[in-house]
Structure 1
Amino acid sequence: MTDQIKIALVTGASRGLGAALAEALVPDYHVVAVARTTGGLEELDDRIQAKGGSATLAPMDITDPNAMATLCRGIHDRWGKIDLWLHTAIHTSALTPAHFVDPKEWTKAINTNANATSILIPYVAPLLGEAGHAVFFDDPKAGEKFYGIYGATKATQMALARSWAAETERTGPRVSIVEPAPMPTAVRARFHPGEDRDALTSTSDAAAQVLAQI
């Protein structure tokens, strides 16, 4: 029975692109939705159920190795696999000059954007096996002025993902990196206050574009 169920793990699923992707996967996948915000996950679950889909909510912090180990063990025990992993979780630090970097913000960004990815890949890879598919989302800000914290930690995440993609090109799992269209998310609002949000691509349209690419 479990072989007939396609399982999608969405990390960072409570809002923005992650939530839109989780909804877009209905009804083809059972979604394991991971985020720290319980309320956001519950609202996502309501929308998924309204579309006739199903989800397992995992209100967890991806920077907690023990929580991620428990999550992946639970997935293994229940389904034995993951068919698709969409990693959208990200920490966005306020724009600041490099000589004013806040050590606490740096640590938080490193833990979420880089360290968590280095922990999740070894945990999720065995569940993906040879046939699974992992997707990461690029936002190339490294080296741009005032993006020191976000740009550097996001670039670290992408470097790790690209190495994994190169290493598994022949053996699997498949690893993809996509760059979504600009969206009216909380992440973008923090970087571009006052921007005309109506001119941006909706998260639902961006999710559809991403899934069409992969």
Structure 2
Amino acid sequence: MTQLALITGASRGLGFALAEALSPAWHVMAVGRTVGALEELDDRIKAKGGSATLAPLDITDTGAMAHMCRSIHDRWGGLGLWLHTAVHAAPLTPTAHLDPKDWEKSRKTNVDAVAVLIPYVSPLLGTAGRAVFFDDPRGGEKFFGHYGATKAAQTALARSWQAETGKTGPRVDIVQPRPMSTATRARFYPGEDRATLIPAPDEARAILDALDLA
């Protein structure tokens, strides 16, 4: 029986690439806010002989996440894998000029949603499932106040969960991807030579190989 992999943040970048790379070995439940991008992902997965369930949802919508997790339980009974790549990348700015709206969106997406999702998803993973988070250590770097602080808090939550489940499961991995040619990277480094960066599909395959998930 094909196992189910939940990917939050699957509509673009690394999440999109991971979803495509996992198929057809896994049935992918792809969560993202951009319907057109999810439909493109579905087309690519089908072309590889795989299958996906599209969930055009916002991870900051607690009710929607609760309904999604209940639906996973009712339909499949649980999850084999959760890959969390969803992130809000607010514009770079001096810390003294932090924008309250950008801060709130960064906090809700990068921290609050994860604090909600871990308790929701953990029972679905049971003791044998796996969760993977992706670190991007920008905390303390100049101009990265919104993103760096909230991403660091997200990783701290993941590390606590990892420490708590080391003997009991589920297994929690925290991976630091190499610099990739994604829209998030371009937003932070608009003048960077993208030819020097790793394409997201290549990094996705490398990550899955390293985690023995390919």
From 12, 17, 22, the counterpart of 2:14: 17
2:78 maps to a residue whose letter is K
Are 1:173 and 2:163 counterparts? no
Partner of 2:45: 48
Shift of 1:198: 1.1
Partner of 1:156: 153
Residues 143-165 of structure 1: CA distance to partner in whole angstroms, max 9, x if unpaired? 00000110000000000000000
Are 1:133 and 2:134 counterparts? no
- Which structure 2 segments of 5+ residues have no match? none
Q: Secondary structure at the match of 1:204?
A: helix
Using the alignment, how far apart are the partners of 1:143 and 1:15 within structure 2?
26
Partner of 1:59: 56
> Normalising by the residue count of structure 1, what TM-score does the alignment of the two structures yield?
0.98
Partner of 1:213: 210
Runs of 4 or more consecutive aligned structure 1 residues displaced over 4 Å after TM superposition: none
Using the alignment, how far apart are the partners of 1:213 and 1:118 within structure 2?
26
> Normalising by the residue count of structure 2, what TM-score does the alignment of the two structures yield?
0.98
- Which structure 1 segments of 5+ residues have no match? none
- Cα RMSD for the two superposed structures: 0.5
Shift of 1:194: 1.4
Using the alignment, how far apart are the partners of 2:179 and 2:85 within structure 1?
14
Q: Secondary structure at the match of 1:176?
A: strand
Shift of 1:5: 2.4
Count of aligned pairs between the two proteins: 211
Using the alignment, how far apart are the partners of 2:20 and 2:9 within structure 1?
13
Using the alignment, how far apart are the partners of 1:66 and 1:36 within structure 2?
15
Partner of 2:191: 194
